[in-house]
């Protein structure tokens, strides 16, 4: 276990790059679906370019490809973070408080991940790093990398916990559905929701962050291949986008730790609780 732990800590910058690439892959699908009506599981028309939705499609497609390649990562990530925040408040926030029910969980995911990326940079597997290396300007958000990692951890936990508590204790529960009838352990999904309810709060407060994040990353990988991947290849079609996001972001937390405002920092082993995060780009 110590060998795995050391491997994850040592390779946290590379895992940042890998997480950036995978989440950009998820994000681009939203742009191409709007621009080219692909990928989709039902006929749909592409949006008109000279509209707000058309602008969003361009940002998501070409901005997403820039994030994928790691080129001009910090400024583009900052712009995309703002776009996703606007999308959340304009299109989702008024429907319900919980993102699980207002349809805005992915917009919130992307907004806070891109904000963190604007501080942390793209990592070593990127065009930015190949061009400029470690000597490039770190950007105005770089001094707040640890704080934004802590914010990202809290937001991810806030989005994650209701997936477990909804099916285990009936909270939160949508008003237009049948009353909660109790936890269902007849399927393997029930045990996954139990893990989410029990372990999610540890992520929220940043306690035992890295080992618990590693466990939850594995749970989300299993959930994706068990429930979603057989339906279709594209995550936007098979319904596994949030599961994939959780999987990769938890894997990154397993390497990078919980950032600022984590109870891990108050433990006796706080000197080794989190790796030192040094921007590589």
Give me the pLDDT at residue 200, please: 98
Give me the pLDDT at residue 274, please: 56
Domain boundaries, the chain: 12-123+136-172+181-272
Give me the pLDDT at residue 47, please: 84
213's CB contacts (< 8 A; 6+ apart) are 203, 250, 251, 253, 254
What one-character-per-residue DSSP string does 140-179 give? TTGGGHHHHHHHHHHHHHHHHHHHHHHHHH--S--TTSPP
- Over residues 220-233, the pLDDT tens digits come to 999 999 999 999 99
Report the 10 Å Cβ neighbour count for 189: 14
Give me the pLDDT at residue 276, please: 47
Residues of the chain with pLDDT under 50: 135, 270, 272-273, 276, 279-281
pTM for the full model? 0.93
The rounded Cα 37 to chain-centroid distance in angstroms is: 24
Contact at 8 Å (CB) between 176 and 143? Answer: no
Reported as half-sphere exposure (CB side, CA atoms, 13 A), residue 80 has a value of: 35
Give me the pLDDT at residue 270, please: 45
Give me the pLDDT at residue 44, please: 78
Show the tokens assigned to 260.
């600022």
Quick one: which of 198, 197, 251 has its CA closest to 220? 251
- Over residues 93-109, the pLDDT tens digits come to 999 999 999 999 999 99
Output phi, psi for 116, to 5 deg.
Answer: -65, -40
Give me the pLDDT at residue 268, please: 53
């Amino acid at each position: 276990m110590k060998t795995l732990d050391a491997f994850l800590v040592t390779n946290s910058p590379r895992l940042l790059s890998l997480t950036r690439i995978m989440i950009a892959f998820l994000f681009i699908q939203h742009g191409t679906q709007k621009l080219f009506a692909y990928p989709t599981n039902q006929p749909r028309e592409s949006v008109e370019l000279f509209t707000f939705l058309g602008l969003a499609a361009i940002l998501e497609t070409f901005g997403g490809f820039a994030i994928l390649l790691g080129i001009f990562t910090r400024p583009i990530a900052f712009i995309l973070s703002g776009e996703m925040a606007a999308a959340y408040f304009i299109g989702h926030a008024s429907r319900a408080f919980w993102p699980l029910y207002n349809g805005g969980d992915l917009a919130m995911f992307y907004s806070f991940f891109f904000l963190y990326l604007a501080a942390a940079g793209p990592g070593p597997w990127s065009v930015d790093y190949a061009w400029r290396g470690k000597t490039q300007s770190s950007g105005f958000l770089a001094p707040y990398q640890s704080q934004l990692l802590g914010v990202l951890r809290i937001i991810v936990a806030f989005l994650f916990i209701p997936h477990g508590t909804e099916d285990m204790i009936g909270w939160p529960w949508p008003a237009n559905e049948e009353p909660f009838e109790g936890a269902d352990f007849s399927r393997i999904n029930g045990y996954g929701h139990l893990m989410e309810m029990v372990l999610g709060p540890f992520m929220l407060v940043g306690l035992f962050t890295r080992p618990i994040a590693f466990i939850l990353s594995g749970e989300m990988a299993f959930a994706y291949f068990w429930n979603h991947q057989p339906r279709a290849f594209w995550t936007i079609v098979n319904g596994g986008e949030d599961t994939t996001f959780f999987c990769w972001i938890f894997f990154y937390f397993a390497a990078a730790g919980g950032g600022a405002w984590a109870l891990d920092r108050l433990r006796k082993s706080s000197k080794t609780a989190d790796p030192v995060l040094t921007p590589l780009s």
